[in-house]
């Protein structure tokens, strides 16, 4: 069997994505305190694969994703912070890169203080644009706890396709949890077949 026809373009030397109300940029050490404000909130972490985090926890867990713009590496991925009016309100990850398939997973964490204004939708839309246009990926996947109504609504608002519903597939934070898998292809996103494009 021959190799995949997919290949990544070179990583950008710097990255800054500006939209109407949000700016995405690589993580900086000075972001840790702001990130710990929302990542340290038990309600925010309820459906996430970690407990509330301190700045040291964030650095330890995400160090391999922080500060760079290259998707390639030992664990493949980048972390971008979301700013609104100069304030860090969340972060996004593009990770679990599969180079042969041209695919990666996306994830997001947003401060409750920023909810209800469409900022998360704007930021995740910008991340998807960046994944396809800058990084040249062809497929993105988001894995979401079925009880995480806000993230499910965000994925559906953006037009991601629900590809799977795994019922009680994992013992997670004291309960059997269902997992939803959403995905979108670059051609769907660019053509507008995904309603969020």
Please report the DSSP string for 86-108 in residue order: TEEEEEEEEEEEETTTTEEEEEE
Half-sphere exposure of 16 (CA within 13 A, CB side): 4
- The helix or strand, by DSSP H or E, that contains position 144, with its residue range, turns out to be strand 139-145
The answer to whether residue 187 sits within a structural domain is yes
Specify the CATH number for the domain of residue 184: 3.40.630.30
User: What is the rounded average pLDDT of the residues 2-26?
Assistant: 88
The answer to whether residue 152 sits within a structural domain is yes
The answer to whether residue 80 sits within a structural domain is yes
The answer to whether residue 48 sits within a structural domain is yes
The answer to whether residue 8 sits within a structural domain is no
pTM for the predicted model, two decimal places: 0.92
pLDDT of residue 1: 45
Domain count for the chain: 1
The band of 67, judged by pLDDT with boundaries at 50, 70 and 90, is confident
The answer to whether residue 197 sits within a structural domain is no
**Eight-class DSSP state of 105:** E
pLDDT tens-digit series, residues 100-159: 999 999 999 999 999 999 999 999 999 999 999 999 999 999 999 999 999 999 999 999
The answer to whether residue 2 sits within a structural domain is no
Domain around 98: 17-191
pLDDT tens-digit series, residues 42-65: 999 999 999 999 999 999 989 888
The answer to whether residue 109 sits within a structural domain is yes
């Amino acid at each position: 069997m021959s190799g995949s026809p997919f290949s990544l373009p070179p990583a950008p030397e710097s990255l800054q994505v500006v939209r109407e109300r949000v700016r995405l940029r690589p993580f900086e050490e000075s972001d840790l305190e702001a990130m710990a404000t929302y990542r340290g909130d038990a309600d925010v972490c309820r459906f996430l694969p970690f407990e509330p985090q301190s700045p040291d926890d964030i650095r330890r867990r995400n160090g391999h994703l922080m500060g760079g713009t290259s998707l390639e590496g030992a664990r493949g991925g980048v972390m971008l912070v979301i700013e609104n009016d100069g304030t860090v309100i969340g972060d996004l990850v593009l990770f679990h890169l599969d180079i042969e398939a041209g695919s990666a997973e996306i994830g997001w964490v947003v401060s409750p203080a920023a909810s209800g204004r469409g900022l998360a939708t704007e930021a995740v839309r910008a991340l998807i644009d960046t994944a396809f246009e800058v990084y040249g990926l062809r497929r993105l996947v988001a894995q979401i706890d079925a009880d995480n109504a806000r993230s499910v609504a965000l994925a559906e608002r953006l037009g991601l396709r629900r590809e799977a519903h795994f019922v009680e597939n994992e013992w997670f934070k004291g309960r059997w949890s269902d997992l939803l898998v959403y995905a979108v292809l670059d051609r769907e996103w660019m053509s507008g077949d995904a309603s969020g494009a």
